[in-house]
Amino acid sequence: MLPNTGRLAGCTVFITGASRGIGKAIALKAAKDGANIVIAAKTTHPHPKLPGTIYTAAEEIEAVGGKALPCIVDVRDEQQISDAVEKAVEKFGGIDILVNNASAISLTNTLETPTKRMDLMMSVNTRGTYLASKACIPYLKKSKVAHILNLSPPLNLNPIWFKQHCAYTIAKYGMSMCVLGMAEEFKGEIAVNALWPKTAIHTAAMDMLGGSGIESQCRKVDIIADAAYAIFKKPKSFTGNFVIDENILKEEGIKNFDAYAIKPGHTLLPDFFLDEYPEPITKKMESTGAVPEFKEEKPQPQPKPHLGAVEETFRIVKDSLSDDVVKATQGIYLFELSGEDGGTWFLDLKSKGGNVGYGEPSNRADVVMSMSTDDFVKMFSGKLKPTMAFMSGKLKIKA
């Protein structure tokens, strides 16, 4: 872990989406120095699935030595951003650091992304980052620290990162393009950088995307907080960089990264948008049974499943069903399998005792999963992890 130095004592840090997750972790790291934290987020009442509000975050910040100003901010609302900036300047006398952390995600392809969801991602990710930056820049110019940090990836134009979730990639890259443009526009006045994790980070959003058990393949939010802190220690001349968390922490002398792992020793899930080092990532993905689509080689023919492999898999699943499994799951799954021995199959874990079969279930499915029969058999036999199947585009989910 990166030790605090006290450098941010008295600095005012404006963080969007700071009520939970990565935003709150960055806030707490700065607060330990005695920083003033502006919590610019939407959540004012407890959410049934997502922990934390702007007020609970404020309590945590003050408990570790910082000062907190919780502000109700939906970054889609320019007036709410302006009001929060004014309150921050009035209370703390200025703004020294802006962290554009608020983000919306939908890992859906073009035909499965509703216009409202596309608008949400563009409004929160790209437009929200732009507006928050615009509102803070006049005050950042007056600061001796003067940093803007966007939680966004390097601008990697490998088509694999557009293929499965084009809208999300465009919206997220909009944040990165703000870095590219503003770093040049305000060179010498404000340091503008991006920060992105090398591996998946365990947050409430990751739990929703990856499902149960995903945390063992993730790192803690602390690694992002430490990396952000390392950036804030840099001078204004450190600008226009697309920083990877692990890389900058290695520069800071961190050698053992097990402290950041949720479960040290487990294989970590590579994050999106990174293939600068395709060999290590490819090996890591292949070790779980997946075949990364960005690997540059001639496609090898996949072995066909044995005749009846899908039917046999469902038979094994059926034999393992019990009332306890049904009670714990309460879901109906529809599998749309392509290729030999494919078709539509269902797994009913709502009805008493559970049931599996070919065709449609008697009640509406809660989740629809689409994949090839080859990958289905691999996944249920433990040779392909569901998370890797999803991340690599082999498994598509509608819910």
Q: Encode 39-58: b = buried (16+ Cβ within 10 Å), e = exposed.
A: bbbbbeeeeeebebbbebbb
Q: How far apart are the first and last CA of the chain?
A: 38
Exposure of 278 by Cβ count < 10 A (0-12 exposed, 13-18 middle, 19+ buried)? Answer: middle
Asked if 368 contacts 337 with a C-beta cutoff of 8 angstroms, the reply is no
Structural tokens at position 275: 């293939």
How far apart (Å, rounded) are the C-alpha atoms in residues 296 and 239?
32
Choice among 55, 130, 139, 168 that is catalytic = 168
How far apart (Å, rounded) are the C-alpha atoms in residues 252 and 264?
21
Sequential DSSP letters for 322-342: -HHHHHHH-EEEEEEEESTT-
Distance set, CA 168 to CA 41, 309, 330 (Å)? 21, 36, 30
Q: Encode 110-149: b = buried (16+ Cβ within 10 Å), e = exposed.
A: eeebeeebbebbbbbbbbbbbbbbebbbebbeebebbbbb
| Residue given tokens 């110019």 in the structure block | 141
Identify which of 263, 260, 257 has the alpha carbon closest to the alpha carbon of residue 217: 263
Structural tokens at position 194: 């991006």
Asked if 124 contacts 80 with a C-beta cutoff of 8 angstroms, the reply is no
In the 8-state DSSP scheme, what is residue 194?
Answer: E
Identify which of 318, 277, 308 has the alpha carbon closest to the alpha carbon of residue 294: 277
Helix (H, G, I), strand (E, B) or coil at 155: coil
Sequential DSSP letters for 93-139: SS--EEEE---------GGGS-HHHHHHHIIIIIIHHHHHHHHHHHH
Give catalytic status of residue 55 as yes or no: no
Which amino acids are annotated catalytic?
168
